[in-house]
Structure 1
Amino acid sequence: MGGRPESDNRAAWQPLIADLEQRRTGSRAMGGPAKVARYAAAVPGRLPARARIAALLDEHSFTEIGTLAGGAEIPSDAFVAGSGLLDGRPVFVGAEDFTVQGGSIGPGAAAKRARLVRLAGQERAPLLTLLEGAGHRAGNALAGHTATPNDLQALVDLAGLVPTVAIVHGPSAGHGALTAPLSDFVIMVEGTGALFTAGPPLVAAATGERVDKHTLGGSRVHCVVSGVAHNAVPDDAAALRLARRYLSYFPSHAWQLPPYAGPESGNADVGPRRTEALLDLIPPDARRPYDIRAVLTEVFDAGTVLELQPAHGASIVTALARLGGHAVAVLANQPAVRAGTIDTDAADKAARFVRIAGAFHLPVVFLADNPGVLAGTAAERSGVLRAAARLFAAQHRLRVPKLHLTLRKAFGFGSSVMAMNPFDAQTVAYALPGVTLGGIPAAAGAAAAKQDADTARRLTANEASGPWRSANALSYDDVIAPTEVRDALLAGLTRARARLTGPVEPDRRPDLLP
Structure 2
Amino acid sequence: MPFDNERTEFERRKAQALSMGSPKRLAERQAQGILNARERVDRLLDAGSFHEAGLFATSIRPEMRDKTPGDGVVCGFGTMGGRLVGVNAADFTVLGSSSAEVHGKKQGHVRALATRNGFPIVNLMECAGGRIPDIMGAGGIGMSGERAVYRNPRQVPWISAVMGLTYGGGAFTCINSDIVVMRKGAVLAVSSQMVTSVAIGEEEDPQSLGGWRHHSEMTGLIDVLAESDEEAIATVKRALSYLPDHAGALPPRLPPPKDDPARDEAVLTLVPESRAKVYDVRMVIKAVVDADSFFPLKERFAKVAVTALARLGGQVVGIVASNPMFKGGALDPDACDKIASFIVLCDSYNIPLIFLADTPGFLVGAESEKKRLPAKIMTFMSALEQATVPKIALVLRKSYGQAYLNMGGGKADITASWFTGDISFMDPAVAVNVVFAVKREDDPARHAALVAEVAAGTTPYELAAPFLAHSVIDPRDTRRTLISMLQILCRRTTGGLGEHRLANWPHGF
- Asked whether the two chains share a fold, i.e. TM above 0.5, the reply is yes
Whole-angstrom CA distance in 1 between matches of 2:498 and 2:218: 35
Residue identity opposite 1:104 in structure 2:
S
Given the superposition, is the C-alpha separation of residues 148 and 110 from structure 1 closer, same or farther in structure 2, using an over 3 Å criterion? Answer: farther
* Percent identity (aligned): 31
Alignment partner, residue 275 of structure 2: 286
Whole-angstrom CA distance in 1 between matches of 2:21 and 2:197: 29
Alignment partner, residue 22 of structure 2: 32
Aligned positions of 1:228-377 closer than 5 A: 228-262=221-255, 268-269=257-258, 275-377=264-366
Q: Is the 8 A contact 1:262 1:325 kept in 2?
A: yes
Alignment partner, residue 21 of structure 1: 11
Residue identity opposite 2:13 in structure 1:
R
Structure 2 counterpart SS, 1:18:
helix
Whole-angstrom CA distance in 2 between matches of 1:362 and 1:270: 22
Whole-angstrom CA distance in 1 between matches of 2:190 and 2:426: 42
Q: Is the 8 A contact 2:127 2:169 kept in 1?
A: no
Task: Give me the CA root mean square deviation.
Answer: 2.2
Given the superposition, is the C-alpha separation of residues 435 and 112 from structure 1 closer, same or farther in structure 2, using an over 3 Å criterion? Answer: same
Aligned positions of 1:100-111 closer than 5 A: 100-111=94-105
Deviation at 1:498, TM superposition (A): 4.2
Deviation at 1:451, TM superposition (A): 6.2
1:122 aligns with 2:116: yes
Whole-angstrom CA distance in 2 between matches of 1:416 and 1:343: 15
Structure 2 counterpart SS, 1:145:
helix
Alignment partner, residue 207 of structure 2: 214
Deviation at 1:284, TM superposition (A): 1.9
Given the superposition, is the C-alpha separation of residues 164 and 289 from structure 1 closer, same or farther in structure 2, using an over 3 Å criterion? Answer: same
Residue identity opposite 1:28 in structure 2:
L
Deviation at 1:273, TM superposition (A): 7.8
Whole-angstrom CA distance in 2 between matches of 1:445 and 1:469: 19
Q: Is the 8 A contact 2:383 2:502 kept in 1?
A: no
Whole-angstrom CA distance in 2 between matches of 1:415 and 1:34: 59
Whole-angstrom CA distance in 2 between matches of 1:234 and 1:378: 34
Given the superposition, is the C-alpha separation of residues 457 and 310 from structure 1 closer, same or farther in structure 2, using an over 3 Å criterion? Answer: closer
Residue identity opposite 1:83 in structure 2:
F
Bigger shift: residues 270-279 or 374-383? 270-279
Given the superposition, is the C-alpha separation of residues 152 and 311 from structure 1 closer, same or farther in structure 2, using an over 3 Å criterion? Answer: farther
Q: Is the 8 A contact 2:322 2:329 kept in 1?
A: yes
Alignment partner, residue 7 of structure 1: none
Per-residue displacement from partner, 1:417-440 (whole Å, max 9, x unpaired)? 11012xx351x3211113211111
Deviation at 1:143, TM superposition (A): 8.9
Whole-angstrom CA distance in 2 between matches of 1:387 and 1:406: 22
Structure 1 counterpart SS, 2:409:
coil
1:435 aligns with 2:430: no
Per-residue displacement from partner, 1:251-302 (whole Å, max 9, x unpaired)? 1001101111116xxxx34688861101110112111100111111100000
Q: 2:69 aligns with which of 64, 75, 86?
A: 75
Residue identity opposite 1:25 in structure 2:
A
Residue identity opposite 2:450 in structure 1:
A
Q: Is the 8 A contact 1:161 1:506 kept in 2?
A: no
Per-residue displacement from partner, 1:337-385 (whole Å, max 9, x unpaired)? 0111111111101100111101110111110010101100000010111
Given the superposition, is the C-alpha separation of residues 430 and 142 from structure 1 closer, same or farther in structure 2, using an over 3 Å criterion? Answer: closer
Given the superposition, is the C-alpha separation of residues 272 and 126 from structure 1 closer, same or farther in structure 2, using an over 3 Å criterion? Answer: farther
Aligned positions of 1:39-58 closer than 5 A: 39-41=29-31, 43-44=32-33, 46-58=34-46
Whole-angstrom CA distance in 1 between matches of 2:498 and 2:381: 23
Whole-angstrom CA distance in 1 between matches of 2:145 and 2:270: 51
Bigger shift: residues 444-453 or 21-30? 444-453
Whole-angstrom CA distance in 2 between matches of 1:233 and 1:273: 32
Residue identity opposite 1:357 in structure 2:
C
Structure 1 counterpart SS, 2:264:
coil
Q: 1:417 aligns with which of 406, 411, 414?
A: 406
Alignment partner, residue 3 of structure 1: none
Deviation at 1:504, TM superposition (A): 3.3
Alignment partner, residue 467 of structure 1: 460
Whole-angstrom CA distance in 1 between matches of 2:340 and 2:493: 22
Number of residues of Structure 1 aligned to a counterpart in Structure 2: 492
Whole-angstrom CA distance in 2 between matches of 1:135 and 1:359: 30
Whole-angstrom CA distance in 2 between matches of 1:324 and 1:390: 31
Whole-angstrom CA distance in 2 between matches of 1:236 and 1:178: 20
Residue identity opposite 2:14 in structure 1:
R
Whole-angstrom CA distance in 2 between matches of 1:461 and 1:216: 49
Structure 2 counterpart SS, 1:497:
coil
Whole-angstrom CA distance in 1 between matches of 2:96 and 2:360: 49
Whole-angstrom CA distance in 1 between matches of 2:421 and 2:319: 20
Q: Is the 8 A contact 2:431 2:454 kept in 1?
A: no
Aligned positions of 1:78-93 closer than 5 A: 78-93=72-87
Whole-angstrom CA distance in 2 between matches of 1:141 and 1:221: 29
Alignment partner, residue 133 of structure 1: 127
Q: Is the 8 A contact 2:392 2:412 kept in 1?
A: no
Structure 1 counterpart SS, 2:321:
strand
1:390 aligns with 2:388: no
Deviation at 1:386, TM superposition (A): 1.1
Structure 2 counterpart SS, 1:275:
helix
Whole-angstrom CA distance in 2 between matches of 1:500 and 1:213: 51
* Consecutive unaligned residues in structure 1, runs of 5 or more: 1-9
Per-residue displacement from partner, 1:95-150 (whole Å, max 9, x unpaired)? 11111111212221011122222122111111111111101111214698266577
Q: Is the 8 A contact 1:270 1:325 kept in 2?
A: no
Whole-angstrom CA distance in 2 between matches of 1:153 and 1:110: 8
Alignment partner, residue 54 of structure 2: 66
Given the superposition, is the C-alpha separation of residues 354 and 459 from structure 1 closer, same or farther in structure 2, using an over 3 Å criterion? Answer: farther
Q: Is the 8 A contact 2:396 2:417 kept in 1?
A: yes
Residue identity opposite 1:347 in structure 2:
C
* Consecutive unaligned residues in structure 2, runs of 5 or more: 59-64, 439-445
Given the superposition, is the C-alpha separation of residues 106 and 375 from structure 1 closer, same or farther in structure 2, using an over 3 Å criterion? Answer: same
Whole-angstrom CA distance in 2 between matches of 1:509 and 1:195: 26
